[in-house]
Amino acid sequence: MATTPDTDKAGSGKPLDDEAARLAATAQADMPLPPEPDDIDDEDDDDEDLVAYTASEAAGAFATLWRFTWPHLRNYKTWLSFVAIGLFIETLFNVIMPLSLKFLIDDALGEEDFQALYTILGVLAAAGIITSIVAVWYERWDARLAAAVISDVRSRLFEHVQNLPAAFFGRTKRGEILSRFSVDMAGYESSVKHFANSAMLPFLELIAGIGLMIWLNWQLAAVALLIFPITLIGPRILTPKAVQANYEQKVNESAILGVVQENVAAQMVVKAFGLQRKAFGWFSFRNNAARRSMADATFLSTMVERTVTVSVLLLHLIVLAIGAYLATIGKISIGTFVTFESAFWEITYNIAHLMHFIPVAIQAAAAMRHMEE
């Protein structure tokens, strides 16, 4: 309880190369009761949201993932190309969709041109249906590819264990070896399984969205791209404060558990001497401290996200105002204005998606380093 939460450790991207530290962490996680509040999933998620990764930590994790996976991936080039084609088609559709809005507005709706209307809608419907079919098709190959890579990695790990000298098995705890096959494989698995969908697709769509914005109006795109410093640097200011506040909350909550534990253990004494009032007083003192620290921790945690939302909103209003002005003076068409809006939302959304994959990649990288030891 006196250490930082587990997720922070795992999430900081530093592999626990010190075996002793890892075992201690495992022992702590297995401690029967009182269970730590961070044993609860939702709590873990909270903490995870709060970890600010540096760009180099993220890049390092992706590099590790790539270096570890590529030798296996290489054996399935056909499947890999199917997945790549699928991702390409899906990204393409995500450009066609907002673009068709532009042509709809400028060429069909404004001009009351039914020929253009039917053509655009026809193209869009065909693209939508083809993309949907392709999506199901490439997900099938992606699932097969992920399963193949994972079982190959497991196989290599088993072979490696077979070839270890007999002395190794005397020295190393059995659970240590098994943990590679269970905990570490599971961490690696989740990153490989979701890589195409949760990392590659948002990344490609992000690039395509930026390209679309620049093509529509590069001056406006230059303003819109301020979203990167806002979403990437912004949270780093508040995050350390929020992490500190969350830590203090945990310390307070563990103090409460201590009071309750003592109270329950000494219940006979409390009852015999009528100490209920006194016991409640001690409890309340701790409880009020926990209440204050919790209010701070909750507020600061929310603010980490809120500051991003608010800055993105204000940037959006600036982009909207400039776009509307350009459209009113006739510098850009109404369709361009609307499509730019939708491309802006698209990139906001894809940045958020990519950010969510970073902790998965970092955990997987730690698992891979542990497997390679």
Site for its own copies in 302-331 (CB under 8 A): 302-303, 306, 309-310, 313-314, 317, 320-321, 324-325, 327-330
Segments in 266-275 forming alpha helices (H): 267-273
Binding to its own copies by residue 244, rule CB under 8 A? no
For residues 361 and 61, what is the distance between their CA atoms, to the nearest angstrom? 6
Q: How many CB atoms lie within 10 A of CB 233?
A: 11
**Which among 14-22, 203-211, 228-236, 291-299 is the span making contact with its own copies, rule CB under 8 A?**
291-299
Smallest gap from residue 222 Cβ to its own copies (A): 20
Smallest gap from residue 221 Cβ to its own copies (A): 19
Q: Contacts with its own copies in 154-183 (CB under 8 A)?
A: 154-155, 158-159, 161-163, 166, 169, 174-175, 177-179, 181-183
Contact assessment for residue 217 and residue 326, using Cβ atoms and an 8 Å cutoff = yes
Write out the DSSP string of 16-84: ---HHHHHHHHHHHH--SSPPGGGSHHHHHHHHHHPPPPHHHHHHHHHHHHHHHHHHHGGGHHHHHHHH
Closer Cβ to its own copies, 57 or 253, answer by number: 253
For residues 222 and 53, what is the distance between their CA atoms, to the nearest angstrom? 26
For residues 58 and 361, what is the distance between their CA atoms, to the nearest angstrom? 8
Binding to its own copies by residue 101, rule CB under 8 A? yes
**Which among 105-113, 210-218, 219-227, 231-239 is the span making contact with its own copies, rule CB under 8 A?**
105-113
Binding residues for its own copies, rule CB under 8 A, total 123
Closer Cβ to its own copies, 48 or 372, answer by number: 48
Binding to its own copies by residue 119, rule CB under 8 A? no
Q: What are 175's two structure tokens? A: 């659970």
The binder of its own copies chosen from 77, 136, 171, 218 (CB under 8 A):
136
The binder of its own copies chosen from 9, 144, 331, 369 (CB under 8 A):
144
The binder of its own copies chosen from 22, 256, 355, 372 (CB under 8 A):
256
Binding to its own copies by residue 26, rule CB under 8 A? yes
**Which among 80-88, 132-140, 212-220, 227-235 is the span making contact with its own copies, rule CB under 8 A?**
132-140
Give the alpha-carbon dihedral of 106, 110, 111, 115, to 10 degrees.
70
Smallest gap from residue 296 Cβ to its own copies (A): 8
Q: What are 170's two structure tokens? A: 């005397």
Q: Contacts with its own copies in 66-85 (CB under 8 A)?
A: none
**Which among 186-194, 204-212, 224-232, 234-242 is the span making contact with its own copies, rule CB under 8 A?**
186-194
Closer Cβ to its own copies, 110 or 240, answer by number: 110
Ramachandran angles phi, psi of 172, nearest 5°: -100, 140
Q: How many CB atoms lie within 10 A of CB 249?
A: 22
Q: How many CB atoms lie within 10 A of CB 164?
A: 12
Binding to its own copies by residue 24, rule CB under 8 A? no
The binder of its own copies chosen from 14, 67, 160, 271 (CB under 8 A):
271
Q: Contacts with its own copies in 201-230 (CB under 8 A)?
A: none
Binding to its own copies by residue 262, rule CB under 8 A? no
The binder of its own copies chosen from 2, 20, 30, 78 (CB under 8 A):
30
Cα→Cα distances 53→4, 104, 176, 357, Å = 16, 42, 28, 12
Smallest gap from residue 350 Cβ to its own copies (A): 14
Smallest gap from residue 217 Cβ to its own copies (A): 14
Segments in the chain forming alpha helices (H): 6-11, 19-30, 41-50, 55-73, 77-103, 114-162, 166-171, 174-179, 185-195, 201-216, 218-224, 227-233, 235-265, 267-273, 276-328, 334-372
In angstroms, how far is CA 202 from the centroid of its own chain? Answer: 12
